[in-house]
Structure 1
Amino acid sequence: MAIDVKMEGWADKSEADEAAVSAWFKKPGAPVRQGDLLAELIVEKVNLEVEAPADGILLEIKADVGQAVTPGAVLARLGTAEEWAILQSRQTAAFPPTPAPFPVAAGPVSQAAAPVAAQAPGQTVTLAEVVASPAAKRLLRENNLTLEEVAAFTGGTVRRIGEEEVKRYLGARAEAGASSPAAGAGAAPSEEGKLVPYSGLRRVIGDRMARSLREMAQLTISAEADITRLVDRREALKAEGTNLSYTALIAKAVALTLPRHPYLNAALEGDSIRLHSKLNLGIAVNLDEGLVVPVIPDAGSRSVAELAAEIQRVSDLARRHALTIENNSGGTFTITNLGTSGVDMFTPIINPPQVAILGVGRINERAGIIDGKIAICKMLWLSLSFDHRIADGAPAAAFLKDVRLQLESPGELFN
């Protein structure tokens, strides 16, 4: 009897009401064992693995890559070899099989297309035993590949597929395609570029940002802060062995200021506005695949040193693709810093259901007045996007002014 593979276990950990299928690592017809990795979903920009609930054959994939699914949705069906044979016999007439670019075996992985060394006795592994590293899974997603394709290419000699095996497979496939007249006959002219999948994390980000702009009345205001004293104090502490990032210092300024402006630490819930009692601060981290926003819970209760350490910790988790749903959900306000990219001002897009986000630009040197004398000042642009349905321009401007004053007179930040 067929078994449904469902997506469960994340609805109680996240505010997200749906996830996106980012990759399948098995094809219909592949044998699987209980606990094998079948697919990955993206929930709150975090990859969530889907494992086989039992031994069997993957009969059918019900949710394609890029498709949105809700908690409890059926992603696939598992069954017996007999059920697979019956299913195939029904489909053969209408959908005759087409040869794959590289063979995929149902038992020991085929070596027919693999330019690899001969195997020693006992080295062959089955498809059910093959797993992929995080880097390999990323490449599989980006190139719309399955684990079976690469496993077949290795000739059954590799139990753990890594990034290098996927790259070798891609190179061999590209070479085979380039040498085939049929492959190039229908190809688009090179000057038109190439198509890449709009899926995975890129699609999740795109859909969320489009939804944010579609549903909110967003407005951005900017202010310039003279942070000369803050820079000097930070450099003095750095010389003593204490290194505080500018993001941490700005986070502390926000944490000190936001309680006086509760409508910017809020969320619209139907006919009501929820004013959050705590600041769960999102920190935007840029990855090659796209932007993720890990959350620092109860940031208002932390010292600047604690904020600096926690920002470093969650940023490292993000870069290692080790964030959990808990790390990435529950944020009430976000800071995004493009200063290291040489940007002065920009228009950050709010991360729903939050109602505001603070954009941080680069630090510029400019002539100014300090204590009545002309001096070189360190200037910083701040850009606040807010939902005009929840907060008007004057209250938003008051918050931005208070953050600016907190950074210009930074004594309290270092307490």
Structure 2
Amino acid sequence: MGEGKRIKENYKISGARKFIATKMKESLRDYPQGTGSSEISVDKVLELKNELKKQNSNVSMTSIFVKLVAEALKKHPVMNSALIEDEFFIYESINIGVGIGLDDGIMMVVVKEAQNKDIFQISDELQTMISKLKAKKLPFDCMMDSTFTVSNMGMLGFEQVTPFLNPPETGILGIGTTKKKYVIDNNDVATISNMACFNITVNHAAIDGLHGGLFLLTLKDILADPKSYVGL
């Protein structure tokens, strides 16, 4: 401990914090991870959120991202997977885990079978689970069985993040804050666009960085026309 450091308090971690610590140790110990990032325009997503929010107040950027990621995973099923010991599982169910920041750490709620739900169903379900989680009344089952995780860190102001995998999942998507930036097209014309950094981490023991890159390219196409993918 050292004699030159005065201690304000000390305690053993337990509960949620201990669970998170165990998962993160497992993640970095057992999973060779690599992260790739791409800045993508979210102009159309913001427009869609404002439009849909008039019909359902529970619609948020996060709920839209959950739906759009599920649509991208349908096109890249190898990303919706897990390597458990030496057996590789590709899941038919697309269960999107969503990280929710609480005082004692980031906890998970899981939107199950997201591929079969429209944006309003996902938005309502997500808001209900978050409210119950904050009230410590969320059933444990609603925090389990994710096949892919989305961590939207935009509200914290992070532009770029390096998300750690949530074992045994093969992929996790971290989303940075949205900022207006100049974008120069192929004709050297500059426009102002709302840009966000999308960061995909993959388990290199299960797949290659190529798969993460292809997934991001598909997600970029979906983000350019999100209204076609929200199930309405």
TM-score above 0.5: yes
Instruction: Give per-residue Cα distances to partners, 1:211-255, cap 9 Å, x unaligned.
Output: 1110011111111111112212322444x4444211111111111
Shift of 1:196: 2.5
Q: Which residue of 2 aligns with 1:194?
A: 9
Q: TM-score by structure 1 length?
A: 0.52
Instruction: Give per-residue Cα distances to partners, 1:134-192, cap 9 Å, x unaligned.
Output: xxxxxxxxxxxxxxxxxxxxxxxxxxxxxxxxxxxxxxxxxxxxxxxxxxxxxx88834
Shift of 1:369: 5.0
Q: In structure 2, what residue type is equivalent to 1:222? A: S
Instruction: Give per-residue Cα distances to partners, 1:52-94, cap 9 Å, x unaligned.
Output: xxxxxxxxxxxxxxxxxxxxxxxxxxxxxxxxxxxxxxxxxxx
Q: Which residue of 1 aligns with 2:176?
A: 361
1:228 to 28, 43, 55: 43
Shift of 1:365: 0.6
Q: Which residue of 2 aligns with 1:393?
A: 209
1:410 to 222, 226, 229: 226
1:279 to 85, 88, 94: 94
Q: Distance in 1 between matches of 2:186 and 2:216?
A: 24
| Structure 2: stretches of 5+ with no match in the other structure | none
1:211 to 18, 23, 26: 26
Q: In structure 2, what residue type is equivalent to 1:388? A: H
**5 Å matches for 1:10-409?**
191-238=6-53, 240-243=54-57, 244-369=59-184, 374-409=190-225
Shift of 1:332: 0.6
Q: Distance in 1 between matches of 2:212 and 2:31?
A: 15
Q: Distance in 2 between matches of 1:232 and 1:376?
A: 15
Greater length-normalized contact order (CA 8 Å, ≥ 6 residues apart):
2
Aligned residues: 227
Q: Distance in 1 between matches of 2:48 and 2:111?
A: 25
RMSD (Å), alpha carbons:
2.0
| Structure 1: stretches of 5+ with no match in the other structure | 1-187
Q: Distance in 1 between matches of 2:169 and 2:198?
A: 18
Q: In structure 1, what residue type is equivalent to 2:94? A: L
Alignment CA distance shift 1:235-1:352 (3 Å): same
The answer to whether the 8 A contact 1:224-1:404 is kept is no
Greater C-alpha radius of gyration: 1
Alignment CA distance shift 1:190-1:396 (3 Å): closer
Q: Distance in 1 between matches of 2:186 and 2:38?
A: 21
Alignment CA distance shift 1:295-1:237 (3 Å): closer
Q: Distance in 1 between matches of 2:13 and 2:56?
A: 43
* Identity score, percent: 27
3-state SS of paired residue (2:9): coil
Q: TM-score by structure 2 length?
A: 0.90
Q: Distance in 1 between matches of 2:124 and 2:145?
A: 20
Shift of 1:361: 0.8
